[in-house]
With several copies, the nearest count.
Chain A
């Protein structure tokens, strides 16, 4: 798959996970591309953990309000019906199950749905920010990421990096396919027709079951 198309492909597929009215928190990077792929009849409420229950799109340069940012510190806007909130309220909403889904990237995910995405000891220390709360609190935790990192699997038998949370991931969406995290392990439920099941298995360290109902990503 063309490298330049991967992120948009993943975001487009992830956009199908939502129904009208869902409250969704989107991580920095790839997940922020999702809203542009939502069907016209699906409006989601974007929760921004830094202070909005109902964020709007990135404003045009002339409309930038320096007092309104997203969780990455970039200029943002409030959506119609949105509310500004403080950090305690924001994470209360998140931890309390009032956010239907969070979509975020990962360094590693494993067979049990364990997630590692906040630290590579001695190398990268961004900190967990709101991620630990989000993956524990949101009803659905969707990892949207490239299937491998420089050719190395990121979907592992067991995470080797420090965890963000245990058994929290519910679904993994990559450029190769869609994987559900179930009590019986990881199940490939959709596949990108550019790849074979064997391709996906080869790029995945974890044991990967294949759904008898395997569908093609449209």
Chain B
């Protein structure tokens, strides 16, 4: 069984200097209630692994953390939607590491699934490839970049419906990085719109054995 805790209890698990993974894609499928509570704790020097740098509209919790200066290092694929991220990056107040979106998904999955890395053609011959010091490995005459695994201290994920065991399913495009991130952290928090007794075993997207804590994020 996953333990059900409050948004404040979930937020209190995040400590200064931790590396956290945050699910969501711009304003869809992010664990905003927990992120908002983290913003309120004032925790700092976080390294955040996420798809993007949040979106400065709606109630975007990732944007809030960044805006507050609580993030020391952002590892993401796209930051253009939140101009503040680029400004902080250029001003040197926040370090930003850009990763191709598909490579980020595989790096997190590799971290969660015990792989030492994956070989991808993505990024070859670009600033995120050899130039960034990544190893080039040739398989059957074709070159690939070795993308190493990523893990975090805590993954903060969103789910549409979660059960008492932590099993989770999704509606719409809310899965995004939530599914792989739930595999790749020492502690996994699942913020759900709805918590039910038990989901159908055929319909589960994130397995309950991955989830440590369930948080009621409130129905949308």
Interface residues, chain A, CB within 8 Å of chain B? 21, 23, 45, 47-54, 65-69, 71-73, 76, 78, 80-98, 119, 122, 124-133, 136-137, 162-166
Say yes or no: A87-B126 contact (C-beta < 8 A), given A53-B209, A54-B208, A94-B102.
no
Residues of chain B with a CB closer than 8 A to A45's CB: 209
Tell me if B4 counts as interface (CB < 8 A to partner A).
no
B220 touches A66 (CB 8 A): yes
CB of B126 within 8 A of CB of A132, answer yes
Does B194 sit at the interface, judged by CB under 8 A? no
Binding site for A on B (CB under 8 A): 1, 25-29, 51-52, 55, 76-81, 86, 89-90, 96, 98, 100-106, 108-109, 112-115, 120-128, 160, 163-165, 167, 170-180, 183-184, 198, 201-202, 204-205, 207-210, 220
Within the complex, which residue of A86, A128, A136 is in contact with B128, where a contact is CB–CB below 8 Å? A128
5 sampled A-B residue pairs with Cβ under 8 A: A84-B204, A86-B180, A88-B106, A131-B100, A137-B121
**Considering the chains assembled together, what is the distance between the CA atoms of A86 and B160 in angstroms?**
13
Most chain B beta-carbon neighbours within 10 Å: one of A21, A88, A136, A166: A88
Query: Chain A's nearest CB lies how many Å from the CB of B199?
Result: 8
User: Chain B residue with minimal CB distance to A166?
Assistant: B125
Given that A96-B114, A130-B101 are known contacts, is A84 also in contact with B201, CB under 8 Å in the complex?
yes
Check if B170 sits within 8 Å of A84, measured CB to CB: yes
Nearest Cβ in chain B — how far from A132, in angstroms?
Answer: 4
Known: A82-B201, A88-B180, A136-B121. A127 touches B105 (CB 8 A): no
Residue from A23, A85, A122, A166 in contact with B124 in the complex, judged by beta carbons closer than 8 Å: A166
Contacts of A48 in B (CB 8 A): 173
* B168 and chain A: residue at smallest CB distance: A83
Please give the distance in Å from A79's CB to the nearest CB on chain B: 9
Cα-based distance from A50 to B122 in the complex (angstroms): 17
Contact check, B209 vs A84: say whether CB atoms are below 8 A apart. Answer: no
Alpha-carbon distance A108/B105, docked complex (angstroms):
27
Residues on the B chain within 8 Å of A21, using CB? 1
Nearest CB of chain A from residue B180's CB, rounded to whole Å:
5
Q: Determine the chain B residues whose CB is within 8 A of the CB of A162 once the complex forms.
A: 126-127
Output the least CB separation between A127 and chain B (Å): 4
Chain B nearest Cβ from A61, distance in angstroms:
16
Set of chain B residues within 8 Å of A98, measured between Cβ atoms: 183, 209-210
Contact A127–B204 (Cβ < 8 Å): no
Question: Do residues A86 and B163 form an inter-chain contact, with CB atoms below 8 A?
Answer: no
Supposing A81-B1, A163-B125 touch, asked if A73 and B25 sit within 8 A by C-beta, the answer is yes
* Chain A residues with CB under 8 A of B28: 50, 66-69, 73
Q: Quick check: B100 and A130 within 8 Å, CB to CB?
A: yes
Query: B177 contacts A87, CB within 8 Å?
Result: yes
Q: A67-B160, A81-B164, A130-B77 given as contacts; is B25 within 8 A of A51 (CB)?
A: yes
A66-B28, A92-B113 are known contacts. Are A165 and B124 too (CB-CB below 8 A)? Answer: yes
Are A73 and B102 CB-contacts (below 8 A) given A81-B1, A92-B113, A92-B114?
A: no
Q: How close is A123's CB to chain B, nearest CB, in angstroms?
A: 9
A87, B175: Cβ atoms under 8 Å? yes
